[in-house]
Copies of this chain bind each other. A is one copy, B any other.
């Protein structure tokens, strides 16, 4: 077990690095940039992490930890598939918008920059979320007895795309509130643009 001080400084580095990676991109952010932002020397970073890659990997892993905790673990408890999917949409969007350290954004954007060994481990975790969405969508379809033949995987990726794209354009200080965004996205996914409700 590591001392709290150790994990604290590690977490500080990860938070700052995540912010910089999100603002400038991974490749465009140097270790010196990260060190300067923390009032540290570059060498000090290498006391806590073996490499720049490890920092990125830990950012993503921690982001996925938080995601599992605040989204998946909660919505899995909901037995009704329709309500489960609704809650999932709301919580996923909420996390994306309120995540202070933007780890999720880094996960989305720096997909291919990780060396393949580490990337595989991250992708495996992502894939389990995809499967959860696919299963839930299929349950929703048979529950509501829909007669269309929408491929659950296509629907899962469509939903993921809708939501994950939000970070590219949404600004919290704009005219569109988070609640309205969630409501509209949920309506579109379940009932489409032409919904009458």
Q: Is the CB of A188 within 8 A of B113?
A: no
Interface 9-residue window, one of A34-42, A47-55, A64-72, A143-151: A143-151
CA A36 – CA B180 in complex, angstroms? 51
- The yes or no answer to A168 lying at the interface (CB within 8 A) is yes
Q: Is the CB of B151 within 8 A of A196?
A: no
Q: Which chain B residues border A111 with CB–CB below 8 Å? A: 168
Q: Which chain B residues border A194 with CB–CB below 8 Å? A: 140, 144, 146, 190-191
Q: Which chain B residues border A166 with CB–CB below 8 Å? A: 157, 161
Q: Which residue of B lies closest to A22 (CB)?
A: B112
Contact of A197 among B109, B148, B155 (CB under 8 A): B148
User: Which positions in A face B, CB cutoff 8 Å?
Assistant: 23-28, 109, 111-113, 137, 140-141, 144, 146-148, 150-151, 153-155, 157-158, 160-166, 168-170, 176, 180-181, 184-185, 187-197
20 contacts between A and B (CB under 8 A): A23-B112, A25-B27, A26-B27, A141-B193, A144-B194, A148-B187, A150-B187, A150-B188, A151-B180, A151-B184, A153-B176, A154-B181, A154-B184, A157-B165, A158-B185, A160-B165, A165-B165, A188-B189, A191-B194, A192-B195
